[in-house]
Amino acid sequence: MEHPQPTRVYVVSDSVGETGESVVRAAAMQFHPVPVEIVRAPFIHDFEGIDKVINGIRTHGGIVVFTLVIPELRDDLITKAIQYNIPYIDLLGPVVTTLGKALRQEPRRQPGMIHPLDEDYFKKVEAVEFAVKYDDGRDFSGIQKADIILLGVSRTSKTPLSMYLAHKRLKVANVPLVPEMQPPAAIYTVPKDKIIGLRIDPDKLNVIRQERLRTLGLAENATYANVERIKIELDFADKIMSKIGCVIFDVSNRAVEETASLIMDHIEHI
């Protein structure tokens, strides 16, 4: 069965890009389960940054969505998008222009005003840095420091969930479960309520892994996407999660936002 390639949406911003990404994710939900891959390009402050984004789209394909308030950068991106026939969406421009006319006032054109550098902002940055550092079992010492620990086999949305929750100021470590390697002892010593197990239907995972192999240009019949191998991995993961006694969420037909909402609700009621 043919599976559609994910459409890449480059979110370009002169700040962190969270606003643009949130809008794109909300829009993409209307087309679920058609895959949409979001590539965030934050802190674009010069023409060189615009060129990198355009070159990336020309190489890999996709569309560009942007929240640029500096007119020169916005105009440069639009000019190059038109030049290379790249679909583009200006999220802030029309709103700012219309508000300016209604208010009879020129906009300040100052980047980053949506996200002031206050305590909340720095907590979010700290959580994002934490998620990156302790992603996919890179450093198990993060298990003791995390607000949430995610467990699951490969391609159960551990990394996207970690980043999404980090933007909610939660420090997340995620641990891959692989039959050939016993998980770190620390997951048996932290409170089980902080641990979230991620389960997925084997057929669904098979499709996701085949798509991943295809994206990487590898053979779809590799062991990584073998149904029997997948069942072995999932059985191993179930045994580990049962031993811990942690809550388990099935991510088979859930968007990242939906699973994250369930996790946050669980954490709030601990």
| Sign of the torsion angle spanned by Cα atoms 70, 72, 73, 74 | positive
- The answer on 166 and 42 residing in a single domain is no
Check the annotation: does 156 bind a ligand.
yes
208 domain-assigned: yes
Q: What is the pLDDT of residue 108?
A: 66
The number of distinct structural domains making up the chain is: 2
pLDDT band at 15 (very low <50, low <70, confident <90, very high): confident
Q: Is the pLDDT of residue 65 over 90?
A: yes
Instruction: Pick the most confident of 48-52, 210-214, 265-269.
Output: 48-52
Check the annotation: does 209 bind a ligand.
no
pTM of structure: 0.62
- Residue-wise pLDDT tens digits, 78-105: 999 999 999 999 998 788 778 888 888 8
Mean pLDDT value across residues 198-212: 93
Let me know: does 65 contact 11? Beta carbons within 8 Å: yes
Let me know: does 195 contact 171? Beta carbons within 8 Å: no
Q: Is the pLDDT of residue 107 over 80?
A: no
CATH of the domain at 260: 3.40.50
What rounded mean pLDDT belongs to the chain? 88
Q: Is the pLDDT of residue 187 over 90?
A: yes
- The answer on 240 and 150 residing in a single domain is yes
Q: What is the pLDDT of residue 198?
A: 98
61 domain-assigned: yes
Q: Is the pLDDT of residue 123 over 90?
A: no
Q: Which of 69, 103, 137 is the last residue of a domain?
A: 103
- The alpha carbon of 95 is separated from its chain's Cα centroid by a whole number of angstroms, namely 26
Check the annotation: does 155 bind a ligand.
yes
CATH of the domain at 60: 3.40.50.2300
- The answer on 205 and 250 residing in a single domain is yes
Instruction: Dump strand ranges (E) for 114-202.
Output: 148-152, 172-176, 195-199
Check the annotation: does 158 bind a ligand.
yes
Encoding tokens for residue 96? 């700012």
Q: What is the pLDDT of residue 115?
A: 54
Residues in the chain: 270
216 domain-assigned: yes
Check the annotation: does 175 bind a ligand.
no
111 domain-assigned: no
Task: Determine which of 201-205, 210-214, 262-266 has the lowest per-residue pLDDT on average.
Answer: 210-214
Nearest 5°: phi and psi at 88? Answer: -140, 155
What is the residue whose two structure tokens read 């073998």?
226
- The answer on 198 and 68 residing in a single domain is no
Check the annotation: does 112 bind a ligand.
no
Identify the domain containing residue 127 by its residue range.
Answer: 119-268
113 domain-assigned: no
Burial of 74 (C-beta count, 10 Å sphere; 0-12/13-18/19+): buried
